[in-house]
Structure 1
Amino acid sequence: MAMIDNLPALRDVIATHDLSAKKSLGQNFLLDLNLTAKIARQAGTLDECDVLEIGPGPGGLTRGLLAEGARRVLAIEKDARCLPALAEIKELYGDRFDVINADALELNPLEHLTPPIRVVANLPYNVGTELLVRWLSPDTWPPYWQSLTLMFQKEVAERIVAQPGSKKYGRLAILAQWRTQAQIVMALPPEAFTPPPKIHSAVVHLQRRETPLFPANPKILNRIVAAGFNQRRKMLRASLKGTAPDIEDRLVEAGLKPTDRAEQVSIEGFCKLAQVLEKK
């Protein structure tokens, strides 16, 4: 494995600092620096961007981002055990790297970043989906970030890019694809990680759309999508009956069949229904 900087190999870093991965923190460390650099490249040109990284662990992806020319990397790490290893990266890269010991769910990173901003992370499995939903659901759009390049369990990644008619198509696919262009750009087997997880992983790149794919009130859209997929085996006229007393008429007005199920409805279809409900 070629080295991408003058720092020790990640296995040595982990051994030196006794960084056994904690299941409670959703940790699985990626040790191949060639792979971490490849993930960094999936985010696009970084030399004019600040990069937000969540859960750097011993710093494998961090080193990949910096080696690929990121203007600056801000890492948010909850596990204080990792801070000495990350301090060694700070010593090499100086002002181009900073780390904050905090819970990413409780910190506003924008206070510490300068646009343009990209988010790149091997997300801890236990908070990955929640962070993604937060990034896709800000109060105003477009958001502070230009793109998200994130590693998930493969099953989650497939849900993000799923198409109508698929069993994996649901709220996550609609939320992601309505506001971003999302694609799976890498797949990684369990043996790429230490310790190896029981599942495969995948990297998803989400490029923000400056305006959503179709016009819709986000609160109304979220409400009807949630209702539809909370009872996904029911017909729309049943699963959405709580959203309007005359929901069958509204479905027809939006060009939808009341007898269809949520997984058969395109993003455009849900957006048209949201427009109809807002009018009424």
Structure 2
Amino acid sequence: MRNLPDSVSIREVGPRDGLQSESPIPTADKIRLIDALGRTGLRRIEAVSFVHPRAIPQMADADEVWAGMTRVDGIAYSALAPNSRGAARALDAGFDIVEVVVSASDTHNRKNVNRSTAESLDDITGLITTLHDGGATVEVIVATSFGCPYEGDTSVERVAGIIDRVVGDGADRVAFGDTTGMATPRRVDELLTRVRGDHPDVPMLLHFHNTRGTALANVMTALDHGVTEFDSSVGGLGGCPYAPGASGNLATEELVHMLHDCGIETGVDLDALIEVAELAEKLVGRTLPSGVLRAGPRTRLTATD
């Protein structure tokens, strides 16, 4: 068996990254989902995004959601802020963990935030200073780290250069986004060999999509590299509104199910999490892609007559 870690930290991104790709649901339902997730043992939840409502109407009620939800002691809540206005809103709301994002692909970055990757990196330099001055830690998420639906494969050198830049600018942690499910174990191995070798002390998180069925295999590869932080989305909610075919974040219950069977602790109650996935499915009104939601854990038995 591999040399696996004793524990893994999961950040639940369904309330933000998941719901931003779904048809808008009422504010009260968003609050209901976040509160239910807070009772599963999760210790990190990405709650909202402070983005202009014309860009992502699903997040138009971010302030109302944050004000109305029950904040649980011991859970680290984070918000995404795409620009200086979003960063100011996040700080005003009281967030002390804020994520900013840049795409390794110029084309995807322009689709996402209407500027080039280089222009976004210049903006992020200022955002890091602003957020640090406001008492927040900053995570820089590099979207399309493993490939872009418009440009094809993303080179390791391209992503490594971005990491060099943002770490030099003071980013507290970095994340790699598999925006359209183009990552494979080989590509995960290549990227992590490079960036962890260059920045061994910088906390790194991986965000996989299961679009092509490789998400859990990619997690195992990342574990081999000592990565112990992963994003996932309850029920497999979401994708990316600016990436065709990007549906299907890694389902949190599938990740927890596999990690627990490997003897890796997450702190999450799997049965409670499956119940929340069922709730998420009802709230969005469509069948979610999670296999563990459909079949249950591997130890669930079928009754005999």
Q: Provide TM-score, normalisation by structure 2.
A: 0.34
Q: Which has the greater radius of gyration? A: 1
More strand as a share of residues: 1
Specify which structure has the bigger relative contact order, considering alpha-carbon pairs within 8 angstroms and separated by 6 or more residues.
2
